[in-house]
Structure 1
Amino acid sequence: MFHTPDYYHNISMRLSEVLDDIGVTENIVTKRRRTHLLRETMLTIHLRTIGEQTTVYNLGSRSEGTTTLGLQSDFDKLGCINHSIVIQDWSEWTPGKFNFLMIQNETTPPGYCRLQCISPDAPLPVTHETGDDFVDDTQGRILLKNTIIEIIMIQGDQRQGPSLASAAEPGFIAKDSVLALPCKSWPQSPRAWLHQQETNIWPTAEMRRYTKSTKCFLVGVGSRASENAAIEWRFSTSLAERCLVFSLNITQIKCYVLMKMILKTYMYISAESYISSFMCKTVLFHCIASKPSCVWKECNILNCLNYCLFTLNNCLLNEHCPHFIVHENNLMAGKFSAEVKQQLLERMSALIPSDGISLFGIQIDNLGERLQIKLNMINEVHHDILQPDEYTNLVMGNLLTNTARLVLEIEQVGDRNLETLLPKVIQLERYYRAGDILGKTACRLLIPLFCTSIGSLIASQNIQINRTVSPQALRWIEAGLDSDFASSRLKLASIMFCVGNAEITALILSHIEEQYKIEVIRPICRCYKFNTHCIKAGFCQLSSQYGVEALMYIVAFCVKFFTTSEINCVPHELQYEMFRSTQEDLLHRGRGDNWMDCAVVDSLPYLYFLQYKTYSFLQRPEEQQQALTKLGWVINTECSLGHRETALNLLGQCLEQENRHADALQCYMSSLSLRERNNAARFHICRCLAIINS
């Protein structure tokens, strides 16, 4: 490789320790991967239950475990459209699917193809097709344009290559979504890689055999250097690449993370990245394939990094970075101008050969400062530098939070009636019985909330008919009690209150309050995007200890009554939230605002509100006043509330019952300042003013 100066060993070991401290360890890498494999399993199972034949794959740095908190990597999601198939010859035609015949000729760039539309009823070309997503070529063939992927584009998305990207917002992660068509078999160009007789040991023959079992996709993007980009589709071997990343040792992963940090720190020109993290990954693959495995060890990490940067520099110099699997595909083709190339080379020249000095300038995760501390170049600095255990806990807390949010996101999709929910639960139970560990875990997380909704719907019908709750409703609710720590139990308490069982309600609420560890339990809401950086140390610590199973003990979902079909399970003070929107307010709603037709409130404020109402009914004034005080306290102190305006509306109505109308009016005004539109506070303000002025 290179001659290694003696001090490289020391720098390498300290650098490796720094990367350990910011979560680039075998343990954290594994947990990141498991979490994102679980996410894609949950999404795929959910799509199956609503009749969508799409398989979801989480790709990119997060699912690979090749990221850190400071890198702020995007969520990369690929949806494989299973009702379509790409064939290479007529023998592969598949009945009942949308078939597309792959076309490659001398005008098609390497790594790309065109798609001819084939009849789903017979292996014959489609001769007539209309619409903006189809075009006739010079031979009269009907070709599919890659613009068709934009059918799933929502407001705020941007087309970036084959993906639809939602930009990062304060407190939220950017997302890239790709629709992909599966190939019936591996196309010739990438298939050649599978059968290469390499002398090097990586990738091994076993790895190549395994990657052969993965799907190869086509994604909707044309070559930058092509005049026919709109009708070109690019080969994607992303699943095979994920297998390769999963085979890397921790030193190789650390090199990749360092390359991405250097890229972000030094290689952006006018805030634009011309060298992608995928190029860095490809360069790493080529380097690993060209050097023996004994080179890739922690005491040699700086030397390994230098070799990767040197290889990347050569790619830049020649404007040629061959895709690792589809060698003919040059990842740098048409990516930058001669002027940009010169600037990139100048910056690379300052990094090669590297003695580690450039690493000191990396502020991501305080890497440069941490390294200087390790090398005794500066005294230890404590400002905003997390200790290794704190960093690990924070990573795990974020992973659990994102999993919990996905559970809520899935719960909110679809109609909320018994005719749709009962078959959904039956399907989920079927997937649970037939599933592997990930499948069983996914179903175990998803089923309880649906069970609670079914129980609530049945209970609402019972209450309307005879003011009681049937054993059937209670069985469904009991099956859902472990959805999270509090929300399903609070739904049960709400139902008991609405049928007049105040003593049972008080017991349920008392048990919840006794077990509710405020310094540990994190409120989670997925109704809308709201920015909160508040994450509790106790929550993170238990997330790290117990993983996804901790969700039912340290997460409190918001309590949601989805439709007016559940209205009989809702105290009248909360029912106002189901009718919060005037005709004018409806014009100010956006995509995803259907939750505004629900009665929804955070768990802890609802706990104290129900206590206030229950103790009032039981004529226990001292406990009633304590609950009122706690309700005001949690509104002012809990930083992660998703529905603070609703909690203020409930508090205001309690104060009205105390004949404190001026204080109630102040609550409603505060609520309105948080959410100006689609807020029931407007009704309460009118009523309150009428009382004050009467």
Structure 2
Amino acid sequence: MALEENQSLYVSGILAAMGFSKREVNIRRFKWKFVELTDNLLLTYRKDIRRCIHSGSASEGMSGGPYYGGLKSDFDTMNILTYVKVVDEKDDSVGKEDACPDNIPKITVREIPDKDYPGYVRLIVVRADPVFLNRMPFKDDQYFLSNTLITQLEMQHEGLSNVSNKDHDFRKHQITKSHLHGPAISCKVSQPESTLSMLCEMLDISDDAESNDQDASKSIKSSQYADLDIVSCIMSLRWPYESIHFTTRPRPGHWPKKETVEYLVDSTPIFLAPVGHKSSPDVDLQWRPSFNVAEKLLIEDFNQTQIQCYALLKIILKDCLKLVSPNILSSYCMKTTMFWLSEREGSDKMIPTKLLHYFIQCLKLIQTWLESQRMPHYFIETRNVFPSNLDPAEVKELMQAIDKVMLGPISALENCKTFELAFRASAGDPLLFPKLIARSYLFAWIEMRCGILENMYTSGANRRLWKPYDTRNISDCIERFKHMVEDTQTLEYGQHLLKIFKSFLGFVCFADHYVRLETTEDKLSVKEIETLLLEGKDGDLALCPLKLATFYLRQNKIDEVLTITTSVLQQQQQIQNRHAFVDNLFVRIYEEFQLLVSIKDMKTLEHLVDIATANFSAKTHYDELVYCREDRTEARQFLHFPIELAKNLTFDVTFMLPESSALPRAVQLEVVFSEPIEFDENYCIGVTISPLVYTLYLRFLAFKAKLDLAGCIMTLSEFQDLLPSESLLNQASGYNLLASCYGMIGRSHDAVQSLCYSLRINPTRNNVAFGYFAFVYSVLFH
């Protein structure tokens, strides 16, 4: 075998160990698919956003594994706006009034190509609010939608500069102060949902490790913040006219296939990003079509060698070429190069033994484009991916750097910091690559499962789970949750989310029985409601079962209430640690990787890989069906790990105003007196109560219904002992509920004392304790 082929296999092996195998990239990509699906599910009812699309290396699955030593990419997402509507010239709805969301100006525009700058468009305003229209630039007898105006408007809508809820227990998950970065709203987030790997520096492998693998000593260090870029885009009506050549040009390598090209053009949307050409005098009037969805689908179509060649280009860019010239080449340039080379050569030819050959061919392509100072965009060839007005001296220096890489690719790669961890872990021995590859893949599986749990947890932490509630219309709430249950039925690894939505649907339907007494065809029966609540009972440790217990209380099924609350109290320690859920994920993910590191037998690692792959491939993803047939302790522990974590998922008990009719009277008052829960520019009235506080409150009501005074007294004692250990946020409402309990058994002094405690903790006018005192005053003196 030729030297270059041996070197290619060597580099391919170490890249696979770093997380760039086809199998591992797929599993890392899946986590982002899940997050995008759930994010869109919870955005369905936003007034101004149709959907969100995640982009960047992480969403492509190209973020690397535990032996990847490179810098982590930013987290990028596109919010697709609906308050700007692009219409065709023949659209007869232009003159009609659209239903406009509150405080959001509805803007209707037509899209026209910018003749001077191919690949860019302008948006002529057809209709807009007159006041808002005056803020738009006027040129050539036309109003144009400015990209800077939309970006500034989104800063106001997102409200990212003024994050509220500073006293909320989940505040560490909130977005910090933001700023504009080109077309993006840039901010830093701590504990961002959907990814664990972006929150930690990958494994630090010590030099004095005792094992042959040099991996006996490892640590995962969590970063405090990760970068988040949000670009607000507008959906275009069609692919740009300039992209017609993409569909018609000959493809020597027969990649992508004809049917793939047809699918991309017919089925993938195009979005208009608020960015213009830097050389244009009208840069603020231009919008750039984004092919993000099509690009991700093309990368999904890459084989392993294409993936690894793309990874090499990104690595050499960051660790070598950017040091020479930081302004000319970008990660997008490398993606574009990979697309063009794949189209020319074809994926069938791109095999592991040819990896370095195609890597060098990509660099040669880049040099050719640098000489002409023009890199053609993959979808719109007339658009130049390079920045305008390249500095000849900088181009020459960059060309020389590329020449040096092509002359000695192995030497150049060995000098890249990104490879440092992998080289140290393997000691450069290819015989150790299979072990590192297996560990990296298993680590990706763990990260994927934990990332999904983290996403569900932070959906509750950031209160996104409660966005579908509509304060004004309970029927809308029911319809929304019905759709969410339906949409989640087929969501892989979404069983817990499905249970949560069923619990929410069941309880809001139960509340509907108290506000709509008339019979309607679409109204669920009490039995159907009970079925939903039972199916959703295990959605988390506290909220879902306590919704069911509240239902049973109203149905006078007291024994069932006591059974559920007893079960919740038995898990008191896990519930009290609910706010450390993500921190515990990191602890456990590290422990599991340490377990993998301790396994020296390659057959055992391969066995774990096989069952993880089978689990990932199974559409149902019911883990017990896979691992219960395995005899090995490692297999059982490995597959049971995410199930165990999922069972500790716990939300605070949150009730929204549409549910209040089904709640005990004292909790209804807490809801009515509560401050609105804000969802960006939307809000709904609701209250959050500590799970243990609400559990003891339900137990008291159950014992009272049974006329069990001893049970009431015992529960009140537990209630009183619990409150000082709760957060101040929960103590105020807790003392109010405790006061109502004392009042029900005639202990007026204790009730008043509890209300005074509550007011001392929360002296604001939204404290329901003021309402209690006002009631007492009105009874005594009026």
Same topology, TM > 0.5: yes
Query: Secondary structure at the residue paired with 2:4?
Result: coil
In the aligned structure 1, how far is the partner of 2:688 from the partner of 2:282?
Answer: 50
Higher relative contact order (CA 8 A, sep 6+): 2
Q: 1:393, CA displacement in angstroms?
A: 0.5
Is the 8 Å Cα contact of residues 574 and 599 (structure 1) preserved in structure 2?
no
Q: 1:498, CA displacement in angstroms?
A: 8.4
Is the 8 Å Cα contact of residues 560 and 598 (structure 1) preserved in structure 2?
yes
Instruction: Give the 5 Å matches for 1:155-554.
Output: 155=159, 156=161, 157-169=178-190, 170=224, 174-183=228-237, 185-213=238-266, 214-266=268-320, 275-312=329-366, 315=369, 319-334=373-388, 351-353=405-407, 355-357=409-411, 359=413, 368-376=420-428, 388-403=441-456, 405-406=458-459, 409-413=463-467, 416-417=470-471, 420-426=473-479, 429=482, 437=490, 444=498, 447-455=501-509, 457-458=511-512, 475-476=528-529, 478-483=531-536, 484-486=539-541, 487-494=543-550, 503-512=559-568, 518=574, 523=578, 532=583, 534-535=585-586, 537=588
| Mean Cα deviation higher: 452-461 or 230-239 | 452-461
Is the 8 Å Cα contact of residues 114 and 121 (structure 2) preserved in structure 1?
yes
1:202 aligned partner, one-letter code: W
In the aligned structure 1, how far is the partner of 2:694 from the partner of 2:586?
Answer: 21
Asked if 1:152 corresponds to 2:243, the answer is no
Distance 1:434 1:158, change over 3 A: closer
Instruction: Give the 5 Å matches for 1:77-88.
Output: 77-79=78-80, 81=82, 84-85=85-86, 87=88
Q: 1:230, CA displacement in angstroms?
A: 1.0
In the aligned structure 1, how far is the partner of 2:306 from the partner of 2:508?
Answer: 49
Q: 1:333, CA displacement in angstroms?
A: 2.0
Q: 1:102, CA displacement in angstroms?
A: 0.9
Distance 1:197 1:533, change over 3 A: same
| Residue number in structure 2 paired with 1:16 | 16
Query: Secondary structure at the residue paired with 1:133?
Result: coil
Asked if 1:113 corresponds to 2:111, the answer is no
Q: Which residue of 109, 119, 133 maps to 1:130?
A: 133
Q: 1:285, CA displacement in angstroms?
A: 0.9
In the aligned structure 1, how far is the partner of 2:563 from the partner of 2:494?
Answer: 31
| Residue number in structure 2 paired with 1:42 | 41
Aligned length: 629
Question: Which ranges of structure 1 fall in alignment gaps of 5 or more residues?
Answer: 121-125, 463-469, 636-642, 684-694
Distance 1:493 1:238, change over 3 A: same
In the aligned structure 2, how far is the partner of 1:35 from the partner of 1:603?
Answer: 28
1:504 aligned partner, one-letter code: E
TM-score when scaled to structure 2?
0.63
TM-score when scaled to structure 1?
0.70
Distance 1:652 1:352, change over 3 A: farther
Q: 1:256, CA displacement in angstroms?
A: 2.9
Is the 8 Å Cα contact of residues 522 and 539 (structure 1) preserved in structure 2?
no
Is the 8 Å Cα contact of residues 60 and 299 (structure 2) preserved in structure 1?
yes
Q: 1:28, CA displacement in angstroms?
A: 0.4
Is the 8 Å Cα contact of residues 146 and 230 (structure 1) preserved in structure 2?
yes
Q: 1:594, CA displacement in angstroms?
A: 8.6
| Residue number in structure 2 paired with 1:104 | 114
In the aligned structure 1, how far is the partner of 2:721 from the partner of 2:360?
Answer: 59
Is the 8 Å Cα contact of residues 104 and 114 (structure 1) preserved in structure 2?
yes
Deviations 1:70-92 (A, max 9, x none): 735414224164972354xx5x5
Q: 1:348, CA displacement in angstroms?
A: 5.3
Is the 8 Å Cα contact of residues 397 and 539 (structure 1) preserved in structure 2?
no
| Residue number in structure 2 paired with 1:687 | none
| Residue number in structure 1 paired with 2:710 | 619
In the aligned structure 1, how far is the partner of 2:440 from the partner of 2:550?
Answer: 43
Instruction: Give the 5 Å matches for 1:633-672.
Output: 644-646=727-729
Root mean square deviation of aligned Cα: 5.7
Instruction: Give the 5 Å matches for 1:664-683.
Output: none
| Mean Cα deviation higher: 324-333 or 395-404 | 395-404
In the aligned structure 2, how far is the partner of 1:604 from the partner of 1:297?
Answer: 59
Question: Which ranges of structure 2 fall in alignment gaps of 5 or more residues?
Answer: 66-70, 96-107, 162-177, 191-223, 517-522, 593-611, 624-642, 743-748, 771-782
In the aligned structure 2, how far is the partner of 1:668 from the partner of 1:436?
Answer: 43
2:277 aligned partner, one-letter code: S
In the aligned structure 2, how far is the partner of 1:625 from the partner of 1:129?
Answer: 58
Is the 8 Å Cα contact of residues 111 and 329 (structure 1) preserved in structure 2?
yes
Asked if 1:599 corresponds to 2:687, the answer is yes
